[in-house]
Structure 1
Amino acid sequence: MKEFPLPVVAIGPGSQPEDEALQYMPLPSAMMTFALPVIDEADPALMAAACAVVERLRDEMQATPLDSATIPTVELQDMDTEVVRLLNQTMGEGEVSIAVRGSGQYRIQETVFASVWRVHEFATDGRLIGDTIMACAIPPMVAQWAQDGVSLDCKIPEKDAGLMNAPAVLTEIVGKAKAYKAGDGAHVINLTLLPMSPEDLECLTQTLGVGAVTILSRGYGNCRITSTKLPNVWWVQYFNSMDTLILNTIEVSEVPEVALASSEDYEDSIDRLGEWLQVMQAPESVD
């Protein structure tokens, strides 16, 4: 995760109470820290099966750089439910939670190992149809489904009573979105440092709309990232521990960098998986 050290004041969408659809992933007040697993007594056969999954993942990560086209993956859907329960217990929940809704429905949770993700796919009737462990900067379906239903057909409003900078900001956003190509650097518009009226912010909210992906990160401060109805355009909003908006930005990128695990995260998780594996294989040696 990337730190954003700029001190700012609260303004804009999110600074007032909201009735959001994704309340099942609340924003926490503290940063997660790594800790050794607390393991209940488990059947030796189940423990051996869980260890085999962790060891396979660790070995694939060692053989596969983070920027590789191949992603280390372990499918859990058809695995013994008790083994999956044990993996859930030992791998825990990390800093980033992701919901994808629309044509594809996913719940994605980073584990305590940064860059290692649990990916749950659901049918339209709510049935779990996919359960995967994946090691990568961010699961690829996030960028894929962020493009679901997007369009560059954006009507920019005329300057009207109460509107100050929204038309100009929208013109800039649409221009950058049209020009964006895979691999381009992010273009960030910091709304917090611009003179924006309530009407401006409401105009941006209504014009950009809400896309299929919501990312909640609890790394260095709480961060809510939401895709919009424009391709590669995201709201990125930072909150303090009181859930008050302190930084409000719009970013043009494939996925905002703050949501991505880094190469350092990936390498560190390989080491920690090895340590964790030792604990799982010899729990009696842990005080």
Structure 2
Amino acid sequence: MTRHVARPGTGNVPLLLNEIRHALTRLRDEGAPTTLDLTGIPMMPEDTHAFDASLGQGEVRAVVDAGGESEVQETGFAGVWRITHRNADGAVLARHIEVTHVPDILKSQPVDIAAGLERLAVRLAADLAPDLVADLTEDLDRPEEVS
């Protein structure tokens, strides 16, 4: 007779890992991203530890500072990202798993791209204008060659 030993915790870790497996399959086959909100899922500290250990850690980590720190960490599985949002005091506001090529928080938004383009144009004008003026002045001061 096989005896099953109950593990402490909620038992949600295998369920979450299986959901991530299905989401990764959808990403591979259909290109469809998935976000899992871990914030409302009951997990005891040992569940969180087991879950994080099961996912492992990948090579990419980014921190976004916008009204509080958001950490984006690639897991040991390509396409699976762990994202933790904190408030200005450092308290965890939300934890997500994004199954995607690149997490949305790392993608530049069109309005930000437009603003960046305007700032770059101003910087280029400020940086290049003195050189352009000097070049034009030099050309005006140089006598024309007669052929």
Question: Quick check: which has more Rg, 1 or 2?
Answer: 2
Q: Which residue of 1 aligns with 2:104?
A: 257
Quote how far apart the aligned CAs of 1:189 are. 1.0
Q: How does 1:18-37 map to 2 (within 5 A)?
A: none
Q: 1:222 to 1:206 in 2, by over 3 A?
A: same
1:166 to 1, 6, 13: 13
Q: Distance in 2 between matches of 1:183 and 1:264?
A: 28
Q: 1:242 to 1:171 in 2, by over 3 A?
A: same
CA contact (8 A) 1:164 1:197 kept: no
Which consecutive unaligned segments of at least 5 residues does structure 2 have? 131-147
- TM-score, normalised to structure 2, is 0.76
1:275 and 2:106 correspond:
no
CA contact (8 A) 2:26 2:33 kept: no
Q: How many residues align?
A: 126
| Misfit runs of 4+, over 4 Å | none
CA contact (8 A) 2:27 2:33 kept: no
Q: 1:183 to 1:280 in 2, by over 3 A?
A: farther
1:194 to 4, 16, 41: 41
Q: How does 1:82-101 map to 2 (within 5 A)?
A: none
Q: Which has the higher helix share?
A: 2
Q: With a CA cutoff of 8 Å and minimum separation of 6, indicate the structure with the bigger relative contact order.
A: 1
Quote how far apart the aligned CAs of 1:223 are. 0.7
User: What code does the residue aligned with 1:211 have?
Assistant: G
Q: Which residue of 2 aligns with 1:124?
A: none
Q: Distance in 2 between matches of 1:186 and 1:218?
A: 24
Q: Distance in 1 between matches of 2:39 and 2:81?
A: 15
Q: Distance in 2 between matches of 1:266 and 1:181?
A: 28
Quote how far apart the aligned CAs of 1:263 are. 2.5
CA offsets, 1:10-58, max 9 Å, x none? xxxxxxxxxxxxxxxxxxxxxxxxxxxxxxxxxxxxxxxxxxxxxxxxx
Q: Which residue of 1 aligns with 2:138?
A: none
Quote how far apart the aligned CAs of 1:197 are. 1.1
Q: How does 1:6-17 map to 2 (within 5 A)?
A: none
1:244 and 2:74 correspond:
no
User: What code does the residue aligned with 1:268 have?
Assistant: A
Q: Which residue of 1 aligns with 2:142?
A: none
Partner of 1:224: helix, strand, or coil? Answer: strand
Q: 1:181 to 1:226 in 2, by over 3 A?
A: same
CA contact (8 A) 1:237 1:245 kept: yes
Quote how far apart the aligned CAs of 1:206 are. 0.6
Q: Distance in 1 between matches of 2:28 and 2:21?
A: 13
User: What code does the residue aligned with 1:257 have?
Assistant: D
Taking every aligned residue pair, what percent have the same amino acid on both sides?
Answer: 26
Q: CA RMSD in A?
A: 2.2
Q: How does 1:29-68 map to 2 (within 5 A)?
A: none
CA offsets, 1:141-198, max 9 Å, x none? xxxxxxxxxxxxxxxxx96222331111111011211331387342111111111111
Q: Distance in 2 between matches of 1:240 and 1:197?
A: 22
Q: Which residue of 2 aligns with 1:20?
A: none
